[in-house]
């Protein structure tokens, strides 16, 4: 008997979901496929422990609501995942089950119970960002007398200028720097979304000088490591930590702050907002799919709120005090 003939409905549907639906029909990006893959690796290993069956023996009916709920609880309690991560895993499971419901309609009653599991609400903290003085201290911190220090200066300046995600900045190649005068940078964003971000004169000057220090090939990583390979996420984070530690000697307020490449992205957005750049332009600058995402920076800008409050003159008239009718009071008391 062939291996295909012995596959369970779950194994068959999962393979079809990844190969036919995600990759061929939706043409999902490699990062999306990896995210879904990681979710199902975790889920299948958990299901193996939960049901006592081997992974190859699991069927679609085993992925019922009690199992998925237990899996989500395990993510939060045992693996210490955030609610955001928990919701992302649930979204991947939902996507698969929507596909499975069309391919195996007899399993629909059980699938509907899993699809009824809600996303968990969570508090959204205010966006953190660096002041202009703190950002300037970080940018000036790398040692310009060494090759790695020169690279770090250009890397951090470009990261701040573009507001790029760390995945975008490490993917940049020499060919992505537009024109000889380095006036713009082509970024390859999430979900194959691409955008071109203009460069400030100072950033362009640093990049033109840096281009002389790296290989001339079009696919040469713009920010290579010591092996001339593209830097990793952890490599960028490590170099930023080194720069922050050095900058804290001149700027003590940096000592108690946890600074990541994504915080630099938030800082770019906040500084553009404070400079009076329209929020729709900032959304394009950062590569946000929706302006709703960019509104979090408006909420975080306390200085802007204070300016709005100062500009608002209180009315001189005194408002009459509201006196509810007996009927309204009776209604309210009944609630």
Q: Give, for all 335 residues of the chain, the pLDDT tens digit.
A: 444 457 899 999 999 999 999 999 998 888 889 999 999 999 999 999 999 999 999 999 999 999 999 999 999 999 999 998 999 999 999 999 999 999 999 999 999 999 999 999 877 666 688 999 999 999 999 999 999 999 999 999 999 999 999 999 999 999 999 766 678 999 988 767 889 999 999 999 999 999 999 999 999 999 999 999 999 999 999 999 999 999 999 999 999 888 999 999 999 998 998 888 888 898 889 988 776 677 777 666 666 566 655 665 555 656 566 666 677 777 777 77
Question: Which of 193, 262, 295, 307 is flagged as catalytic?
Answer: 262
The CA distance from 65 to 110, in Å, is 7
Asked if residue 261 lies in contact with residue 237, where contact means CB atoms within 8 angstroms, the answer is: yes
Asked if residue 265 lies in contact with residue 163, where contact means CB atoms within 8 angstroms, the answer is: yes
**Per-residue pLDDT at 1:** 43
pTM score of the predicted model: 0.68
Question: Which of 86, 239, 265, 271 is flagged as catalytic?
Answer: 265
CA distances (Å), origin 244, targets 156, 195, 264: 11, 29, 12
295 catalytic? Reply is: no
190 catalytic? Reply is: yes
Question: Which of 86, 89, 239, 288 is flagged as catalytic?
Answer: 288
> Integer distance in angstroms from the first to the last C-alpha of the chain?
68
CB atoms within 10 A of CB 255: 11
Question: Which of 153, 165, 239, 266 is flagged as catalytic?
Answer: 165
Q: Name 194's bridge partners.
A: 188
98 catalytic? Reply is: no
Question: Which of 49, 120, 190, 226 is flagged as catalytic?
Answer: 190
257 catalytic? Reply is: no
CB atoms within 10 A of CB 5: 6
User: Which DSSP string corresponds to 104-131?
Assistant: -GGGHHHHHHHHTSPPPP---PPPP---
Q: Name 177's bridge partners.
A: 185
**Per-residue pLDDT at 123:** 72
Question: Which of 36, 99, 160, 297 is flagged as catalytic?
Answer: 297
The CA distance from 11 to 96, in Å, is 12
């Amino acid at each position: 008997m062939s291996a295909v003939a012995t596959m369970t409905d779950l194994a068959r549907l999962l393979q079809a979901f990844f190969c036919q639906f995600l990759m061929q029909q939706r043409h999902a990006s490699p990062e999306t496929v990896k995210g879904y893959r990681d979710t199902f690796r975790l889920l299948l290993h958990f299901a193996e422990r939960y049901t006592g069956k081997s992974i190859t023996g699991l069927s679609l009916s085993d992925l019922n609501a009690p199992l998925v709920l237990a899996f989500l609880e395990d993510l939060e309690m045992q693996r210490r995942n955030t609610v955001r991560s928990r919701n992302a895993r649930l979204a991947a499971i939902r996507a698969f089950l929507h596909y499975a419901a069309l391919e195996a309609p007899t399993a629909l009653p059980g699938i509907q119970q899993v699809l009824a599991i809600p996303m968990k609400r969570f508090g959204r903290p205010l966006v953190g960002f660096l002041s202009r003085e703190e950002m300037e201290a970080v940018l000036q911190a790398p040692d310009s007398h060494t090759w790695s220090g020169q690279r770090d200066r250009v890397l951090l300046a470009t990261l701040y200028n573009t507001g790029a995600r760390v995945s975008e900045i490490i993917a940049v190649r020499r060919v992505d720097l537009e024109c000889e005068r380095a006036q713009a940078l082509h970024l390859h964003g999430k979900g194959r979304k691409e955008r071109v971000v203009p460069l400030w004169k100072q950033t362009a000057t640093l990049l033109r000088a840096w281009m002389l220090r790296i290989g001339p090939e079009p696919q040469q990583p713009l920010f290579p490591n010591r092996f001339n390979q593209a830097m990793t996420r952890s490599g960028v984070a490590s170099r930023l930590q080194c720069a922050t530690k050095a900058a804290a000697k001149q700027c003590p307020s940096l000592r108690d702050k946890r600074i990541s490449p994504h915080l630099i992205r938030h800082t770019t957005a906040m500084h553009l907002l404070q400079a009076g750049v329209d929020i729709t332009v900032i959304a394009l600058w950062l590569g946000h799919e929706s302006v709703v995402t960019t509104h979090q920076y408006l909420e975080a800008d306390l200085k802007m709120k204070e300016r709005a409050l100062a500009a608002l003159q209180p009315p001189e008239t005194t408002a009459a005090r509201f006196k509810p009718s007996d009927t309204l009071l009776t209604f309210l008391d009944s609630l």
